[in-house]
Amino acid sequence: MFAHFDPRAYKDEFIVFLTRSDFDARQILGEPLGDDGVFLAVMERASIRSLHQHIQPYEEWIAKKMLEWRTALGFS
């Protein structure tokens, strides 16, 4: 989410993610945002920290697999 949205801290407890990307909206909502649409998501910082701690041991494996998948799919 950090790569596709514009994250902003709110009162040190939440992160608000905003995007105007029709591509992201189609993936999530199944339709584009439209001319004045904005997609947002809100997450607690504690949840983000917990998720990071859970995923951290797998980061190196994921990075290697992503390179393999991108190469196999011709994205080099």
| Tokens, residue 32 | 């584009």
Identity of the residue numbered 45: R
Distances (CA, A) of 8 to 1, 5, 19, 65: 12, 9, 11, 30
pLDDT band at 1 (very low <50, low <70, confident <90, very high): low
Q: pLDDT tens for residues 6-63? A: 777 888 899 888 888 888 888 888 998 888 888 888 899 999 889 889 988 899 999 9
Q: What are the extents of the domains in the chain?
A: 6-72
- H runs (alpha helix) in the chain: 22-29, 45-55, 59-72
Residue 34 C-alpha from the chain's centroid: 21
Helix, coil or strand: residue 6? strand
Q: Please give the pLDDT value at position 61.
A: 92
Q: Please give the pLDDT value at position 75.
A: 85
